[in-house]
Chain A
């Protein structure tokens, strides 16, 4: 199978859906000729024109609100938010308006929009361009949240998101835009709420999102050499969450580590760990451990930044302790 980058996969998904559905359009800062700072959208304005790939002023709440109104009245906007950190700027439009409109109207109004944005530290971009804020969004009822872990997922999840009748937020890890993965030429969709078992194992379950799947897979390789067989699972969407697959795996392995690049406290790792404790407690041989980003603003200095995020070595060390029955009091 051919291999393409995550950036190309996103671009292909957008092009295919823009061709398929004339009510779709892309809106955001420097999305047209510039193709965004990451060049993910390069070439789209040439094919679809400036009515379908709409450059806006630097007005995040404004264009987010405009997308909500367009979605409520029959369009399917795809919003490009240049950095995930800017979610704080659009919180009212996303969480008070888009997320609640269907419910508040008793099901009469729909808001079928996609918010594409990014996440991920270690790009030396400091505290306001490095955050992974998926937990904030996942907390709000009415929003779906997808976290692609490769080019394959990025394409299939984005196409599903565009066809969904709800607001969907997709977090792409900006460090993965140039990562290649096999992606079929023919069309495919990835349904929401279906976790992907990336690697089977019997000793411990590593549940990881987005780029943390790579971290978990590297850890599983190392652990395998030591005789510990780790099962790696990518939930792919955190709302809806495929709880059943996660619980089944933990029932089998009796141990789990949950890895996500958002801050550890009150985060995605906390939520998943908590559900496993509630629903698989009597199958567990050790506490479910959370591994998120440290609870500090992301520092600029490489010496500091690199230690704030989960690493394969950190996962290996924790997994070893859990599997050897060592008493663990994780932070």
Chain B
């Protein structure tokens, strides 16, 4: 790992929590994928597997009072920001106890209690929302920071440039986090993005950083610094996180060799997996033993299995809810 951190006791707790959160995301996604493959989940979903260090590295630098906006590939952000498995699986299955009472589903999952303003099914659709959250913080004199997650594909949307311009003009406490997983849906990023991604932000005078998105400590260390600077009024910032999506664009995108080779996927999974790398580092540093890690993994798997069973048995919303929540009181 890049960060040669001093492993004090309190840091050890932080590291173990980061590991746990990454495994929770991977486990959540494995279960969500199974629900899809066994035709138990309505619709389809977009897997975050492979990108765990991005969501966890960033969200571990935030408090519940800090806000995030998420994307169609948003389960990872939701878990990392503090959401519970039960309400998440209930939402994916359209059940009443879901975070959005089953009205949003995978692509609109939101968890206001932890500051997650919601996934968004329009690519780039939440860039204005994140920037507006930051404007509200500044106008009201609050020190919370908003992180706007989006993918490399969303850098092709014009909204990004409108809001980065305003965020820079007004010094807003927002961090634009570009998860560059190499693919814009079914197309290589190099075919949709001319020039440099970070230079796009730099053109507005926004400090931009490029970081290994498979290295949770590097992501976390950078984000901590930027969050602290945002709180002091030094925002906005831009981070490009180099990462990789293990699945296709969505769970149904199975035969994908026409745009991505199996060798490339194998290489990222075997040599750059964020969980395997961090696990090795934890053991090497003496922060956890293999046995302790296995026990943690097993506990998370059980939690997920319980949550899936719970969600499968849970009630659908009553049909009287269909025209509820169109308008707020």
* Interface residue ranges, B against A (CB under 8 Å): 67, 69, 98-104, 108, 110, 112, 117-118, 120, 122, 125-137, 139-140, 146, 158-159, 162-163, 165-166, 169, 324-329
Query: Restricting to A61-80, which residues have a CB under 8 Å from any CB of B?
Result: 61-75, 77
Query: Restricting to A13-56, which residues have a CB under 8 Å from any CB of B?
Result: 23, 25, 51, 56
A310 and B297 CA atoms in complex are apart in Å by: 71
Q: Which of A73, A101, A104, A144 contacts B133 (CB 8 A)?
A: A73
* Interface residue ranges, A against B (CB under 8 Å): 23, 25, 51, 56-57, 59, 61-75, 77, 92-93, 96-97, 101-110, 112, 141-142, 144, 165-166
Asked if residues A92 and B139 are in contact (CB atoms below 8 Å), the reply is no
Asked if residues B159 and A106 are in contact (CB atoms below 8 Å), the reply is no
Asked if residues A101 and B118 are in contact (CB atoms below 8 Å), the reply is yes
A109 and B104 CA atoms in complex are apart in Å by: 12
- CB contacts (< 8 Å) of A105 on chain B: these are 99-100, 103-104, 108, 110, 112, 118, 325
Q: Looking across the interface, which residue of chain B has its beta carbon closest to that of A27?
A: B135
Q: Which of B102, B134, B158, B326 contacts A102 (CB 8 A)?
A: B326
- CB contacts (< 8 Å) of A166 on chain B: these are 327-328
A64 and B134 CA atoms in complex are apart in Å by: 14
- CB contacts (< 8 Å) of B101 on chain A: these are 106-107
B190 to chain A, nearest CB (A): 27
Q: Looking across the interface, which residue of chain A has its beta carbon closest to that of B119?
A: A104
A112 and B100 CA atoms in complex are apart in Å by: 19
Q: Which of A23, A65, A96, A109 contacts B127 (CB 8 A)?
A: A65
Q: Which of B100, B122, B135, B327 contacts A92 (CB 8 A)?
A: B122
Q: Given the interface contacts A70-B133, A104-B103, does A61 sit within 8 Å of B162 by beta carbon?
A: yes
Q: Can you list the 8 inter-chain pairs with the closest CB atoms, starting with the nearest?
A: A65-B128, A69-B132, A62-B162, A106-B101, A69-B129, A59-B162, A66-B132, A106-B100
A96 and B119 CA atoms in complex are apart in Å by: 13
Q: Given the interface contacts A51-B139, A72-B117, A106-B100, does A62 sit within 8 Å of B128 by beta carbon?
A: yes
A142 to chain B, nearest CB (A): 6
- CB contacts (< 8 Å) of B110 on chain A: these are 104-105, 108-109
Asked if residues A109 and B112 are in contact (CB atoms below 8 Å), the reply is yes
B135 to chain A, nearest CB (A): 5
A310 to chain B, nearest CB (A): 31
Q: Given the interface contacts A64-B128, A69-B135, A75-B136, does A57 sit within 8 Å of B165 by beta carbon?
A: yes
- CB contacts (< 8 Å) of A64 on chain B: these are 128
Q: Which of B99, B133, B158, B166 contacts A56 (CB 8 A)?
A: B166
Q: Given the interface contacts A102-B326, A103-B325, does A25 sit within 8 Å of B129 by beta carbon?
A: no
A169 to chain B, nearest CB (A): 14
User: In the complex, which of the residues B101, B117, B131, B328 has the most CB atoms of chain A within 10 Å of its own CB atom?
Assistant: B328
Task: Given A77-B132, A97-B128, output 19 extra A-B contacts at Cβ < 8 Å.
Answer: A57-B165, A62-B163, A62-B165, A65-B128, A65-B131, A66-B163, A68-B129, A69-B132, A70-B132, A70-B136, A72-B129, A75-B140, A96-B122, A101-B118, A106-B98, A106-B325, A107-B325, A109-B118, A165-B329
Asked if residues B139 and A61 are in contact (CB atoms below 8 Å), the reply is no
- CB contacts (< 8 Å) of A69 on chain B: these are 69, 117, 128-136, 146
- CB contacts (< 8 Å) of B112 on chain A: these are 105, 108-109
User: In the complex, which of the residues A68, A69, A106 has the most CB atoms of chain B within 10 Å of its own CB atom?
Assistant: A69
Asked if residues B103 and A65 are in contact (CB atoms below 8 Å), the reply is no
Q: Given the interface contacts A65-B127, A72-B117, A73-B117, does A103 sit within 8 Å of B103 by beta carbon?
A: yes
Q: Which of A25, A65, A142 contacts B163 (CB 8 A)?
A: A65
26 pairs, CB–CB < 8 Å, chain A vs chain B: A25-B139, A57-B165, A57-B166, A61-B159, A62-B159, A62-B165, A63-B166, A65-B163, A68-B129, A69-B69, A69-B136, A70-B136, A92-B159, A97-B126, A97-B128, A102-B325, A103-B326, A104-B108, A105-B325, A106-B102, A106-B103, A108-B100, A109-B112, A112-B328, A142-B326, A166-B327
Asked if residues B158 and A61 are in contact (CB atoms below 8 Å), the reply is yes
User: In the complex, which of the residues A61, A71, A141 has the most CB atoms of chain B within 10 Å of its own CB atom?
Assistant: A61
Q: Given the interface contacts A105-B108, A109-B118, does A93 sit within 8 Å of B128 by beta carbon?
A: yes
A105 to chain B, nearest CB (A): 5
A75 and B131 CA atoms in complex are apart in Å by: 13
A68 to chain B, nearest CB (A): 5
A77 and B129 CA atoms in complex are apart in Å by: 12
User: In the complex, which of the residues A23, A96, A107 has the most CB atoms of chain B within 10 Å of its own CB atom?
Assistant: A107
- CB contacts (< 8 Å) of B102 on chain A: these are 106
Asked if residues A102 and B166 are in contact (CB atoms below 8 Å), the reply is no
Q: Looking across the interface, which residue of chain A has its beta carbon closest to that of B128?
A: A65
A75 and B167 CA atoms in complex are apart in Å by: 17
